[in-house]
A = this chain, B = another copy of it.
Amino acid sequence: MKTIGIVGLGVMGASFAQRAKALGYRVLGIDLDPDTIEYAVMRGMVDKGSTDASILLDQCDIVLLALYPRQMQKWLLRYQHDMNPGTLILEISGVKSNVTQPAQALLRDDLELLSIHPMCGRESRGIEFADPAIFDQANFIIIPQPSNSTNAIVFTSAFAKELGCKNVSVLSVEEHDRMIGFLSQLTHVIAVALMNTHENSHLVEYTGDSFRDLTRIAKINEDMWTELFLLNKDILLDEIDQFAASVQQFRDLLVREDVDAMKSAMVQSTARRKKFDR
């Protein structure tokens, strides 16, 4: 029976903990907040928990870091010496370019750090929103570095499937951050911008599903996402510009009342969207 230490029992970390425990892993929870530890232990999300990583890390075969990206380096500098040689560290930060390589650079030679990104989550933060069902049918991405072993990649692929994820795929850091800039970061910018377009609370009793769907992710963890946007700034700015140009292009068709071109744009979006149906 393998022991997994989960560092950071937020929505993601605690969801991992619950699912891993259900799968039969021994799960140890680490968080700075004693109330969060108590919550996790009381509800049986973890087998044991502590605010002090150093007393649990030497029991772990695998350590999953579910921290804000900018905390990761600091955490590794402080706690990597408490881990056993051969410990596999998984990290789930939402961007990789300015995160993975610096972390690899400071790592002990006898530890292994593998970057992963399960494409799921919740718009609310905190352990009380944890839900192991987020992994069901989710896409799961592995972002390997030259230092990663085949063993670690094989274990992690199988672990992703155990968690309930549907597709497990591999991307380079650059491919990952470009993909995330479009699929995840741009969509959050759109949702925030739409929600902030103008005052709209008087519209609640009239709304349908469209507006609710487009703004679900406008409920956003401002600390984490500001960090993620800045770490992927150049790519995100480029994606925003391409999207803004696409909006303007459609606007021009409407101004000119170009019925055929408007319909073509909708036929194209319909065809493209069909590929994304589950």
Binding site for B on A (CB under 8 A): 119-121, 138-139, 141, 167, 169, 171, 179, 182-184, 186-198, 200-201, 203-223, 225-226, 229-230, 233, 236-237, 239-244, 246-251, 254-255, 257, 259, 262-270, 272-276, 278
Given A206-B139, A206-B183, A267 and B222 touching (CB < 8 A)?
A: yes
**Residues of chain B lying within 8 A (CB to CB) of residue A215:** 269, 273, 276
Q: Are A233 and B219 in contact (CB under 8 A)?
A: no
Task: Choose from B194, B211, B229, B276 the contact partner of A212 (Cβ within 8 Å).
Answer: B276
Q: Are A217 and B210 in contact (CB under 8 A)?
A: yes
Given A169-B206, A205-B139, A240-B251, A218 and B269 touching (CB < 8 A)?
A: yes
Most interface-central of A240, A249, A269 (chain B CB within 10 A): A269
**Residues of chain B lying within 8 A (CB to CB) of residue A197:** 182, 186, 239, 242-243, 246
Task: Choose from B214, B221, B274, B275 the contact partner of A214 (Cβ within 8 Å).
Answer: B214
For this complex, 16 residue pairs linking A to B, each with C-beta atoms less than 8 Å apart, are A121-B208, A139-B206, A169-B205, A169-B206, A182-B203, A187-B210, A196-B265, A204-B276, A207-B276, A211-B276, A219-B270, A222-B262, A222-B264, A222-B267, A222-B270, A244-B244
**Residues of chain B lying within 8 A (CB to CB) of residue A259:** 226, 230
Q: How far is the CA of A121 from the CA of B225 in the complex (A)?
A: 32
Task: Choose from B139, B184, B201, B273 the contact partner of A272 (Cβ within 8 Å).
Answer: B201
Most interface-central of A214, A223, A236, A244 (chain B CB within 10 A): A214
**Residues of chain B lying within 8 A (CB to CB) of residue A275:** 201, 204
**Which B residue's beta carbon lies closest to that of A192?**
B269
Q: Are A219 and B269 in contact (CB under 8 A)?
A: yes
Q: Are B250 and A193 in contact (CB under 8 A)?
A: yes
**Which B residue's beta carbon lies closest to that of A179?**
B206
**Residues of chain B lying within 8 A (CB to CB) of residue A205:** 139, 167, 169
**Residues of chain B lying within 8 A (CB to CB) of residue A141:** 206
Measured CB to CB, the closest approach of chain B to A263, in angstroms, equals: 4
**Residues of chain B lying within 8 A (CB to CB) of residue A241:** 251
Q: Are B272 and A200 in contact (CB under 8 A)?
A: yes
- Starting from the known contacts A184-B210, A192-B266, A194-B243, 12 additional A-B residue pairs (CB-CB under 8 Å) come to A139-B205, A179-B206, A182-B203, A188-B210, A189-B250, A190-B194, A190-B247, A192-B265, A193-B243, A198-B242, A241-B251, A244-B248
**Which B residue's beta carbon lies closest to that of A202?**
B179
